[in-house]
Structure 1
Amino acid sequence: MLGAIIGDLVGSRFEWNNIKTKDFDFLTYKCFVTDDSIMALALAKAILESAPDYSNLSQKSVEYMQSIGRNYPDCGYGIAFSEWVFSDDPHPYNSFGNGAAMRVSAAGFAAGSLEEAKLLSRKMTEVTHNHPEGLKGAEATAVAIYMARTGSSILEIRDYIEQHYYPLSFTLDGIRPTYRFNETCQDTVPQALMAFFESTSFEDAIRNAISIGGDSDTLAAICGGVAEAYYGIPADIRKHALTFLDERLLQILIEFENKYPPVMERHTRNVSVPVKRDETRKVSGEDRATLIENAVQAAEEDVQSTEADAEETTSKKLFNHLFEACNILRGPINQDEYKSYVTPILFFKRISDVYDEEYADALAFSGGDVEYAEAEEMHSFVIPNGCHWEDVRKVTKDVGKAIVNAMTGIEKANPDTLSGVFSSFDDATWTDKNKLSDERLKNLIEHMSSIRVGNKDYSADIMGDSYEFLIKKFADLSKKNAGEFYTPRTIVKLMVNLLDPQPGETVYDPACGTGGMLIEAIRHMHNDRLAYGRIYGQENNLSTSAIARMNLYLHGAKDVQVKQGDTLRNPLFLDRGRIKTFDCVLANPPFGMAKWGSAQFESDQYGRNLWGCPTDSNADFAWLQHMVKSMDPKNGRCAVVLPQGVLFHSGKEGEMRKQLVLSDKLEAVITLASGVFYSTGVSACILYLNNKKSHTHKGRICLIDGSEIYTPKRAQNELSLNNIQTLYDLYNNYTDVIERCKIVTLKDVEDDGFDLSVKRYIERKKQETIPPAVVRQNYFAALEAVRAAETKMRKLLIEGGYVHE
């Protein structure tokens, strides 16, 4: 909210005296409040005073824009709006002026959802600007603020604005020489939003907006609202800005911020981190001086109370910086391909920055001995001459070739640890100048150069978590094949909780994707050193296996074995010619995989066809049997995600399921809600098997119906941490729960034809039976009410002259 006001203040002195540069004094005594701020605060007051369902928001908007606005007749109103403010009978006047967007920021800060942001914007805007362009400009602004406030990245916000509101096929540098004063929404809002999209901080966004000229205060007000929501406002700028507001306006702002807490901007590790005010901290005061004093004190406390770095916030902000590299690639590079470029370039930068740290430490330790500092044993990886990040950064021609040469050189110099981690991304065409010009690649290199990503800059956990966010975002962008490399992390956590791996135990994922399950297992063991060297994974996809290795490294797990190959046709973890066994086996293999090699599996040399061979159209039971064969005979546990069809399909699958049940390895079945996995509408389940069942669990299976245990989201259903805790508790308690859980015996399942459909066994609440006489009575009462309503309606239509007898 204050961000829009600051934009208005800073831009006020440039509206009729444009400046085409970012180099100017920011907040000075020459700045002043204009109609942009006054009307923005009037609408903030309307939101505060409207009904909870906002049904009277339009009425309140008129009321407060007039009652507050009339106190400032010389603040810069346009002619039509001035007449509206002072009219005794105000009506919308079909305007598409940018005033609709400049004063709507409160909608974005108050809204509880994207749809509510749109609703509030319309209700606040249509009382004046009922032209479609006016409504669109205000809505785009409110939506951008809401998305920025709720964690969307700049790229996500830009994508949404381009898809639903405006094409953004321009840059600020491109329009700056010719852009002139314009009061329309359609020629102000896109430019103001672009000033935010090209920014690196709150202040930088405001400077961007003013530097293009035009209607400076309005451009900066629109941009400032979004920038505040995304970055927060630096405490010193916030404190200075408050002094420009009179008591009436300051009181409204503080009242609004007491209900919708503001955000401070703090810089941590070269990254701008938003710090939201504690909701319990309220500001009050009887006069302007006291209000300002208390508001300034609150701003200082906001920053001081967050001096301890919040790792999750830092991870997300680092992720945003990494993900915004995609913005540079957009256009020539399809969004499905982003991961093939951003992933290796990040890893290249990380290796170089870590190398520099190790060099500096060795140099200091040796008293300046360069030869000692350059020795291979002083470094995690060898970087040959000409292959360092800074070497590539200096290149201005054939940049793509320089990137490829550097990555190839690093791979060759580290054959045991980095073989294939860069070259596996064979769909990345770095040297194709028709796709990636030298200029675009230089921009990418400079964007990544703006932050350091060494061990001292970001811990392995923060770095790894940021990369996890990045992988998830790639999955969001590429849902058609996302399930192949990304499993929702809460489901992974539930599986690891079931397995409960302990330090010293071995963990294996035969379809490891990007390594998320192995990482969660290491975390479950609290990164204990006994986990090192005991983590194994195999992944068929070449680039995904490289991502897994990078992901594990970025999380600090270097001593792991991830191999690339087809697990069902060619298992790579063997022990004296037999399938190697592990304490914990977990996976989310591809659902219903066809043409997987059933002919070879039918006479499998490793004896993995324990219970039979599935058809070549569905490998689900082949994966399951491979994992069972990989379980340690004495202590092995297995958790696997499979489609729910494995629980009830007949034929070959039915016979194999019978053998599974009779083996008494199956300890629990958990069905999951539909829509929680990417790229598939198939409902899934988790099978938990145990070679060392407790005495009380032998001969029994815990069946859990989790189909209604989820958190609905707009894009797809999710399992929250609370949801998975509920599911885990149901298993851990191992007792019947109506509507949720049933403990069945092997005899129960045998009597039901070895069908494991969970809903068949779950006990349901008894439904209340309504006597037929009551049903008939209710029916005839309803019918009579309908007839009475029809008679009344017909009478009214006749009286109104709409129909005749």
Structure 2
Amino acid sequence: MNAAHTRRLVAKLWNYCDVLRDDGVSTIDYVEQLTYLLFLKMAHERANRRLNPDTALAGVAARWQTLFDAEAQDLEKVYRETLEHLAKQPGTLGVIFRKAQNRIQDPAKLKRLIVDLIGKENWSSQGADVKGDAYEELLAKGAEDVKTGAGQYFTPRALIAAMIDCVQPGPDDTVADPACGTGGFLLAAHDYIVEHHGLSLTPEQRERLASGAISGIELVDGTARLAAMNMIVHGIGRPNGASLIEVRDALAEPPARHPSVVLANPPFGKKSSITVIGEDGRADREAISYNRQDFWTTTTNKQLNFVQHIASMLAIPGRAAVVVPDNVLFEGGAGETVRKRLLKQFDVHTLLRLPTGIFYAGGVKANVLFFDKKEARPGQSWTEKLWVYDFRVGQHFTLKQSPLRREHLDDFVKCYRPGEPRSNRIETERFRPFSYEELIARDKVNLDITWLKDPSLEDADSLLPPEVIAQEVVEDLEAALSEFAAIAEALQVARARSAES
């Protein structure tokens, strides 16, 4: 029943997106407008329920009623004033409505969205599973809008589920994501804890889980609002309380909190225009720089900086699962420094090589790196064996025709053996261990390790369909162009530095 109800809600809301698209409202803009109006309607419902009304939301509830009652000709002005007022509020309200703007210029269409599509549903009675799943599906649809680049903030939920199953967050953990996008990791961690420990949670653990044990940071205002709303509709946090999503640059300063679990898919793509100054004291030529003495090296590579940041923010003991592009595994210079320090100071125990075609951003070749932080042991390296699971060779997915599903990662999770000693792991065709000595001896400590051969290259009878081959060619070219752009940028910096000296 819940699944059918969810589909009905999503279809009802989504069908109207086609109408608004003709007016120039993009998919992600539509999801944002839904976010504002859903929040207002839910606040109105909570403030006016017969049992235990939420009086703290009375002011927000009144704003919804004003919108609902406004005549079409006055609606645009009332809506704009409502967004401006709520953007100035503290906590969750301020995050969701920060820099909010009305993108629906036709008052009649805005009126229909408010009165017919959202106003006629009782969202608070849906239950967190129905309205949460519906909102997640809306975010997934928004991520498909490739023109806006919204997909870069949306990690495939099947991959998130497998990573959570391996890391196994518990009721006493604090969970954080320093680049949380729309909040997928945070929600999955919350759901895992409730599913596996819900009946045994103490009142204190339940309170922690709802109001601070799970939190995220997001740089982009629009994405942070989606994450904050995503948490609220899933029953995490309070609409009138402190936000569990911070809007800021996670790399700007050393972490103030040290969670026991970090789950993240940091942004891929262009190198950062802001340099981080590490303990080596070097800085590139950009005028703005971060002075992060807790970092091992200076680099403009955002992904390497996020790996350093996550290593710094983890508590002891702590465990992390981080999606990283291939260049983090093989890039020289700062990349080699980061890999050496990570292998020595952390237990880097598992690497999952991901197939192409699972991310909305094209040309992405990525991996998941699992590592633990433990008490220092001087003179010894924490990493003993890195187990590599090759899920890339021979695997072919597309976002629509052949999407990644959770069961595709069953074998990886089985090989990982969550909760068991790693001595119980067994080598398979796709799963192999490499000793610390082997890794350090590799050129530039390159962790981009392969041993399988793609059967489609060996067996003429197993050739891939032309459309799959064409898509892979496109993705390879996009990845190559991205790397060339990074090289060109680095050469420009080097030339400018040389001219200055």
TM-score computed with the length of structure 1 as normaliser: 0.49
**Contact 2:70/2:78 (<8 A) preserved:** no
Partner of 1:594: 271
| 1:639 corresponds to which of 307, 317, 321 | 321
Deviations 1:127-159 (A, max 9, x none): xxxxxxxxxxxxxxxxxxxxxxxxxxxxxxxxx
Determine the structure 2 residue equivalent to 1:488. 156
Identify the match of residue 721 of structure 1 among 379, 391, 406: 406
Q: How far is the alpha carbon of 1:408 from its aligned partner?
A: 4.1
Cα offsets for 1:627-646 (capped at 9, x unmatched): 0101112x210111011121
Aligned position for 1:541: 220
Distance 1:520 1:607 in 2: 33
Q: CA deviation at 1:746?
A: 0.4
Within 5 Å, which residues of 2 pair with 1:23-38?
none
Is 1:421 equivalent to 2:96 in the alignment? yes
After TM superposition, list the pairs within 5 Å mapping 1:217-228 onto structure 2.
none
- How big is each residue's C-alpha offset from its partner over 1:742-763, in whole Å with a ceiling of 9 and x where there is no partner? 0111012123232212314x69
Asked if 1:444 corresponds to 2:113, the answer is yes
RMSD of aligned residue pairs (Cα, Å): 2.9
In the alignment, is residue 513 of structure 1 matched against residue 184 of structure 2?
A: no
Query: Does 1:704 pair with 2:394?
Result: no
Match of 1:453 in 2: 122
Counterpart for residue 59 of structure 2: 383
1:399 lines up with 2:75 in the alignment: yes
Q: Structure 2 regions of 5+ residues with no counterpart?
A: 282-289, 376-381, 418-423, 459-501
CA deviation profile, 1:185-231 (whole Å, cap 9, x unmatched)? xxxxxxxxxxxxxxxxxxxxxxxxxxxxxxxxxxxxxxxxxxxxxxx
From 262, 271, 293, give the equivalent of 1:607.
Answer: 293
Aligned residue in 1 for 2:481: none
| SS at structure 2 position matched to 1:324 | helix
Partner of 2:433: 743
Alpha-carbon distance change, 719 to 391 in structure 1, aligned in 2, over 3 angstroms: closer
Give the partner amino acid of 1:351: A
- Aligned 8 A contact 2:44 2:57 in 1: no
Give the counterpart letter for 2:33 in structure 1.
Y
Matched, 1:531 2:209: yes
Which residue of the partner structure matches residue 552 of structure 1?
Answer: 231
Partner residue in 2 for 1:731: 416
CA-to-aligned-CA distance 1:252-292 (integer Å, 9 cap, x gap): xxxxxxxxxxxxxxxxxxxxxxxxxxxxxxxxxxxxxxxxx
The whole-number CA distance in structure 2 between the counterparts of 1:566 and 1:492 is 23
Q: How many angstroms apart in 2 are the aligned matches of 1:506 and 1:702?
A: 26
Are 2:233 and 1:564 aligned? no
The aligned counterpart of 2:17 is: 326
1:482 is displaced (CA, Å) by 2.6
**Partner residue, 2:447:** 756
For residues 35-62 of structure 1, give each alpha carbon's deviation from its aligned partner in whole angstroms, at most 9, with x where no partner exists. xxxxxxxxxxxxxxxxxxxxxxxxxxxx
AA of the residue aligned to 1:750: I
Which 4+ residue blocks in structure 1 deviate beyond 6 angstroms? none
Cα distance change of structure 1 residues 326 and 763 upon mapping to structure 2, 3 Å threshold = closer
Which of residues 166, 172, 176 in structure 2 aligns to 1:498?
Answer: 166
| CA displacement 1:348-398 (0-9 Å, x = unmatched) | 2222223232xx225xxxxxxxxxx6xxxx435232585133653442322
Paired residues, what number? 420
| Distance apart, 1:546 and its partner CA | 1.1
Deviates more, 1:675-684 or 1:338-347: 338-347
User: Residues 716 and 591 from structure 1, CA distance in 2 versus in 1: closer, same or farther, beyond 3 angstroms?
Assistant: farther
1:535–1:605 distance in 2 versus 1, CA, 3 Å? same
Change (3 A) 1:514 1:340: same
CA 1:329/1:641 → structure 2, altered by over 3 Å: closer, same or farther? Answer: same
* Offset at residue 684 of structure 1 (A): 0.5
Deviation at 1:341, TM superposition (A): 1.9
Q: Are residues 538 and 664 of structure 1, via their aligned partners in 2, closer, same or farther at CA, if it must alter by over 3 Å? A: closer
How far residue 717 of structure 1 moved from its aligned partner, in angstroms, is 5.1
Where 1:525 maps in the other structure, the secondary structure is: helix
**CA apart distance, 1:719:** 2.1
1:581 is matched with 258
SS of corresponding position for 1:655: helix
Find the aligned partners of 1:384 and 1:425 in 2 and give their Cα distance: 15
Instruction: Name the aligned partner's letter for residue 387 of structure 2.
Output: C
The CA deviation at 1:402 is: 1.4
Tell me the secondary structure at the aligned position of residue 251 of structure 2. Answer: coil
Distance 2:69 2:396 in 1: 45
Distance in 1, Cα, partners of 2:67 & 2:330: 59
Closer/same/farther in 2, CA of residues 764 and 674 from structure 1, 3 Å limit: closer
1:539–1:564 CA contact under 8 A, matched in 2: yes
Cα distance in 2 for residues equivalent to 1:311 and 1:702: 39
* SS of aligned partner of 1:759: coil
8 A Cα contact 1:387 1:407, kept in partner: no
Secondary structure at 1:421 match in 2: helix
Contact 2:167 2:321 (C-alpha < 8 Å) held by counterparts: yes
Is 1:687 matched up with 2:364?
Answer: no
CA distance in 1, matches of 2:357, 2:454: 24
| 1:348 pairs with one of 17, 40, 52 | 40
Q: Sequence identity, in percent?
A: 26
Report the CA distance between 1:319 and its aligned residue. Answer: 1.3
C-alpha distance 563-763 of structure 1, shift in aligned 2 (>3 A): same
Distance in 2, Cα, partners of 1:410 & 1:648: 46
CA contact (8 A) 1:667 1:689 kept: yes
For 1:35-54, what aligned pairs fall within 5 Å after superposition? none
Give yes or no for contact 2:348–2:383 (8 Å, CA) kept in 1: no
In structure 2, the partner of 1:663 is 345
